[in-house]
């Protein structure tokens, strides 16, 4: 069943820029979808609308059956967003950071669950470290732990490997692979075809605000020719 239903979505910013035009698609529970497109294509706008951070000028989005326009609170609980920028409280510990975020969602404390996500992100040994002491890759994993703290059904990763080196990029691919095994639905944005291919079950290509196509990764890569 579709966890996200997007219908005829469009967005025109006040500046006059049309960031999205008539985008429709469904995203199935448990799938990993990559939104692939160049800078300025409309990827961030699309996920910002789904997450309720930007109001569309046309169309509708349902998350778990909840219309984000009418029933934003219920939809929001099902969503975790990992933003592009790393913003962490430098002197706070990893565990407290994630606990605090869970609290913001009004969820009761559940350290057993938080231990489970910190372990799955290889952060449990660092739970008492201040976030400023962490490497860049660990900080990115803390952002993911924060986004998972209220047990969302869908995780959004906005350019998860923007500005990181090759080793970190591979580490992030492995993290996503681990989340896939946990059954989390993931939507990520990227402008690297290689990255979309490495992580996603399906790839949606966006350019100039239009969704040009959405296809299973294997099918799309077949069309681009066999990779050695
Ligand atoms: P991306 O890395 O997704 O291409 P940019 O670096 O272009 O994003 O922009 C960063 C943020 O600045 C965007 O998420 C968007 O909210 C905002 N932004 C981008 N373009 C404009 C613009 N023309 N006017 C105002 N804000 C913008
Ligand atoms: P992407 O994430 O694919 O780089 P964005 O969704 O950030 O694309 O941007 C799509 C278009 O909308 C770009 O032309 C960008 O400059 C513009 N844009 C993005 N955010 C804003 C904003 N807050 N105000 C005005 N224009 C914006």
H or E stretch including 18?
A: strand 18-28
Q: At 158, is the secondary structure helix, strand, or coil?
A: coil
CA 202 to chain centroid, in Å, comes to 14
pLDDT digit string (tens) for 189-220? 999 999 999 999 999 999 999 999 999 999 99
List the one residue out of 24, 19, 20, 22 whose CA is nearest residue 6. 24
The reply to whether ligand 2 has any atom less than 6 angstroms from the CB of 42 is yes
Residue 218 C-beta-side C-alpha neighbours within 13 Å? 1
More confident site: 64 or 227 = 64
The reply to whether ligand 1 has any atom less than 6 angstroms from the CB of 97 is no
Q: Residue 48 region, left (φ>0) first, then alpha (ψ -120 to 50), else beta?
A: alpha
The reply to whether ligand 1 has any atom less than 6 angstroms from the CB of 39 is yes
Asked whether the predicted pLDDT for residue 171 surpasses 70, the reply is yes
Please state, in angstroms and rounded to a whole number, the distance separating the CA atoms of residues 213 and 160: 22
The pTM of this model reads: 0.85
pLDDT digit string (tens) for 126-156? 999 999 999 988 999 999 999 999 999 999 9
More confident site: 29 or 222 = 29
The reply to whether ligand 2 has any atom less than 6 angstroms from the CB of 207 is no
The reply to whether ligand 1 has any atom less than 6 angstroms from the CB of 14 is no
Q: Whose CA is nearest to atom 23 of ligand 2?
A: 13
Distance 126 CA to ligand 1 centre (A): 33
Distance 59 CA to ligand 2 centre (A): 18
Asked whether the predicted pLDDT for residue 169 surpasses 80, the reply is yes
Q: Which of 9, 40, 47, 54 to mutate to test the pocket of ligand 2 (most atoms within 8 A of CB)?
A: 40
pLDDT at 55: 96
Does ipTM come in above 0.90?
no
Sign of the Cα pseudo-torsion (176, 177, 183, 185, in order): positive
Distance 21 CA to ligand 1 centre (A): 17
pLDDT at 32: 96
More confident site: 92 or 86 = 92
Distance 112 CA to ligand 2 centre (A): 39
Sign of the Cα pseudo-torsion (35, 155, 147, 114, in order): negative
pLDDT at 218: 93
Please state, in angstroms and rounded to a whole number, the distance separating the CA atoms of residues 140 and 147: 11
Contacting residues for 142 by C-beta, under 8 A, at least 6 apart: 88, 94, 97, 98, 123, 131, 134
118 confidence band (pLDDT: 50, 70, 90): very high
Please give the number of the atom of ligand 1 that sits closest to the Cα of 44.
3
The answer to whether the CB of 147 falls within 8 A of the CB of 80 is yes
pLDDT at 144: 94
For 55, other C-beta atoms within 10 Å of its C-beta total 10
pLDDT at 227: 53
Q: Which of 42, 51, 162 to mutate to test the pocket of ligand 2 (most atoms within 8 A of CB)?
A: 42
Q: Whose CA is nearest to atom 21 of ligand 2?
A: 13
pLDDT at 186: 96
95 confidence band (pLDDT: 50, 70, 90): very high
Contacting residues for 35 by C-beta, under 8 A, at least 6 apart: 43, 46, 47, 187, 188, 189, 190, 204, 206
pLDDT digit string (tens) for 154-167? 999 999 888 788 88
For 224, other C-beta atoms within 10 Å of its C-beta total 9
The reply to whether ligand 2 has any atom less than 6 angstroms from the CB of 16 is no
The answer to whether the CB of 82 falls within 8 A of the CB of 139 is no
Dihedrals phi, psi of 90, to nearest 5 degrees: -60, -35
pLDDT at 202: 97
List the one residue out of 188, 184, 193 whose CA is nearest residue 140. 188
């Amino acid at each position: 069943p579709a966890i996200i239903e997007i219908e005829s979505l469009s967005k025109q910013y006040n500046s006059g820029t049309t960031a999205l035009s008539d985008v429709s698609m469904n995203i199935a529970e448990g799938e990993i979808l990559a939104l692939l497109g160049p800078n300025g294509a409309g990827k961030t706008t699309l996920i910002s609308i789904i997450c309720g951070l930007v109001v569309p000028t046309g169309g509708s989005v349902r998350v778990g059956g909840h219309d984000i326009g009418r029933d934003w609170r219920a939809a929001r609980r099902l969503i975790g967003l990992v933003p592009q920028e790393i913003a962490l409280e430098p002197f706070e510990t990893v565990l407290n950071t994630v606990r605090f975020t869970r609290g913001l969602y009004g969820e009761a404390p559940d350290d057993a669950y938080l231990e489970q996500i910190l372990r799955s992100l290889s952060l449990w040994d660092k739970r008492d470290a201040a976030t400023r002491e962490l490497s860049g890759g660990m900080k990115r994993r803390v952002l993911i732990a924060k986004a998972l703290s209220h047990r969302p059904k869908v995780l959004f990763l906005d350019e998860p490997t923007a500005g990181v080196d090759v080793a970190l990029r591979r580490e992030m691919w492995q993290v996503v692979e681990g989340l896939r095994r946990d059954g989390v639905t993931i939507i990520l944005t990227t402008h690297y075809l290689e990255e979309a291919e490495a992580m996603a079950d399906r790839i949606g290509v966006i350019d100039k605000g239009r969704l040009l196509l959405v296809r299973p990764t294997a099918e799309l890569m077949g069309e681009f020719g066999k990779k050695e």
